[in-house]
Amino acid sequence: MATIAMKFGGTSVADIERIRHVATLVKREVERGNQVAVVVSAMAGETNKLVAWTNEAAHGGNNLAIPDQREYDVVVAAGEQITAGLLAITLNAMGVKARSWLGWQVPINTSAVHGSARIEGVPATDMKRAIENGEVAVVAGFQGVAPGTRISTLGRGGSDTSAVAVAAGIGAARCDIYTDVDGVYTTDPRIVPKARRLEKIAYEEMLEMASLGAKVLQTRSVEIAMLHRVPTRVLSTFTPDVGGTLLCDEEDIVEKKPVTGIAYSRDEAKITLHKVPDRPGVSAAIFGPLADAGVNVDMIVQNVSEDGETTDLTFTCTRGELTRALAAIETHAKDIQYRAVTHTADVAKVSIIGIGMRAHPGVAQLMFRTLADKGINIEVISTSEIKVSVLIAEEYVELAVRALHSAYELDAA
Ligand code: ASP
Ligand code: MG
């Protein structure tokens, strides 16, 4: 007998029939003698609808003004409340004792950053007692409670994070994330039909995959899984008995290829400042105001100065932050003293990821060679111990991902 957490995403609970199917999967775990907490997302499409309503209410649908984030959270958290209640009703109707738990009831304590709050703790004392008494706890994902009792939400895709945090909070032996794909793949199978499902992936690798664009899990959920060492599985609601991918410690992976997976992100924008003075303090003058404006600068390159006096500096951020970034730069034009500024959103980032990279020399070189052979120009490069990312023109993303997938011998036979 074990305590486990299960999580079901939006497509898994899209209608009452699917919720009934989910209930059978929960019931099966109960019949195996497990104590279960199950975390649910809103029914597919619900959250988008709620978000649209908040925009419409705030300013007739004009996307520029932002509604009060605290009220935004009250509205968008509602989708998960509905699913939690429906699943509890369904379980009870099947003879499985269950009750719903909203974020504030658990409680899932979060920071006060409404709209993208961070979970700070899941005490869950009463809920744990209920589970131990044999009642299934159906937890509304995506929501929590900010200091001062206001409802918060965790950012889009946040139910994954709720699930792992609940698993850690109740000391679950594992967290099973049921979704509409049967695991984590070497890359996006929609681009590379020969992508392979990974049996296992190290927490560190999954963290890079998620933050570099793979959409399977919210990045923060992987951070929490890694921090608390929660064995987390990704599996399909529709074919729960085949496949799956286990997130685990690096030591539990026997075969370490140089590259485990390839991620890409189209959500990139590039800004270049031309002819900024090449002297101490200039980077601080540029990146200080960007940080103050809440822009997350990702990749940076500073070119070699040709004349010894000025240099060009390029950096990237998300497309959503581009306008804010340009505004911050222009406001501080006097301090930065650039000659001109150019920008484009027609760029994308492609990354190779793998813990095996540490032990294999020449991994980056193969990436550059492969892209060169396809005539793809690399605009910016950034690396860490277990990943190499390149910025390229967006039109070449698919070509690049496919070529790299073959080059690192990831293609399925
Ligand atoms: N319902 C929320 C969203 O659509 C949270 C989630 O599904 O993980 O983003
Ligand atoms: Mg999701």
* Alpha-carbon gap, residue 178 to 384, rounded angstroms: 31
Give 395 Cα–ligand 2 centroid separation in angstroms: 27
Give 76 Cα–ligand 1 centroid separation in angstroms: 9
Give 159 Cα–ligand 2 centroid separation in angstroms: 7
Give 161 Cα–ligand 2 centroid separation in angstroms: 9
Q: What is the pLDDT of residues 75-94, one digit of tens each?
A: 999 999 999 999 999 999 99
CA pseudo-torsion sign 21, 26, 29, 30:
negative
Q: What is the pLDDT of residue 254?
A: 86
Give 9 Cα–ligand 2 centroid separation in angstroms: 6
Place of tokens 């793809």: 376
Q: Which of 8, 41, 178, 222 to mutate to test the pocket of ligand 1 (most atoms within 8 A of CB)?
A: 41
Say how many C-beta atoms besides its own lie within 10 A of residue 292's C-beta. Answer: 11
Say how many C-beta atoms besides its own lie within 10 A of residue 17's C-beta. Answer: 8
Give 263 Cα–ligand 2 centroid separation in angstroms: 17
Q: What is the pLDDT of residue 65?
A: 66
Place of tokens 């706890």: 137
Nearest CA owner, ligand 1 atom 4: 47
Amino acid letter for position 335: D
Q: What is the pLDDT of residue 67?
A: 84
Nearest CA owner, ligand 1 atom 9: 156
Q: What is the pLDDT of residue 64?
A: 58
Contact 38, 28 (CB under 8 A): no
Q: What is the pLDDT of residue 255?
A: 81
Q: Could you say which ligand is closest to the alpha carbon of residue 155?
A: 1
Nearest CA owner, ligand 1 atom 6: 157
**β-strand partners of 233:** 176, 246
Q: What is the pLDDT of residues 21-70, one digit of tens each?
A: 999 999 999 999 999 999 999 999 999 999 999 989 987 766 556 789 99
Q: Report the b/e string of 309-331 with b at 16+ CB within 10 A.
A: ebbbbbbbbeeebbeebbebbee
Ligand 1: residues with CB < 6 A are 9-10, 41-42, 47, 79, 141-142, 156-160
**Looking at residues 327-339, what average pLDDT do you find?**
95
Q: Could you say which ligand is closest to the alpha carbon of residue 159?
A: 1
Question: HSE of 413 in the Cβ direction (CA atoms, 13 Å)?
Answer: 0
Q: Which of 46, 159, 175 to mutate to test the pocket of ligand 1 (most atoms within 8 A of CB)?
A: 159
Tokens coding 14: 């899209």
Q: Is the pLDDT of residue 110 over 70?
A: yes
Q: Are strands 245-248 and 109-110 parallel, antiparallel or unpaired?
A: unpaired
Give 181 Cα–ligand 2 centroid separation in angstroms: 11
* Alpha-carbon gap, residue 31 to 238, rounded angstroms: 20
Determine the Cα angle at 270 with ends 313 and 203, to 5°.
Answer: 105
Atom of ligand 1 nearest to the CA of 159: 8
Give 167 Cα–ligand 2 centroid separation in angstroms: 17
* Alpha-carbon gap, residue 55 to 69, rounded angstroms: 11
* Alpha-carbon gap, residue 290 to 46, rounded angstroms: 34
25-34, 173-182, 253-262: lowest mean pLDDT where?
A: 253-262
CA pseudo-torsion sign 131, 232, 9, 157:
positive
Atom of ligand 1 nearest to the CA of 154: 5
Atom of ligand 1 nearest to the CA of 157: 8
Domains and CATH numbers, the chain: 3-180 (3.40.1160.10), 262-407 (3.30.2130.10)
Q: What is the pLDDT of residue 256?
A: 80
**Looking at residues 273-287, what average pLDDT do you find?**
92
Tokens coding 228: 């608390």
171-180, 225-234, 241-250, 305-314: lowest mean pLDDT where?
A: 305-314
Place of tokens 């005539």: 375
Q: Which of 11, 80, 142 to mutate to test the pocket of ligand 1 (most atoms within 8 A of CB)?
A: 142
Give 47 Cα–ligand 1 centroid separation in angstroms: 6
Atom of ligand 1 nearest to the CA of 160: 8
* Alpha-carbon gap, residue 87 to 7, rounded angstroms: 12
Q: What is the pLDDT of residue 62?
A: 63
Atom of ligand 1 nearest to the CA of 48: 4
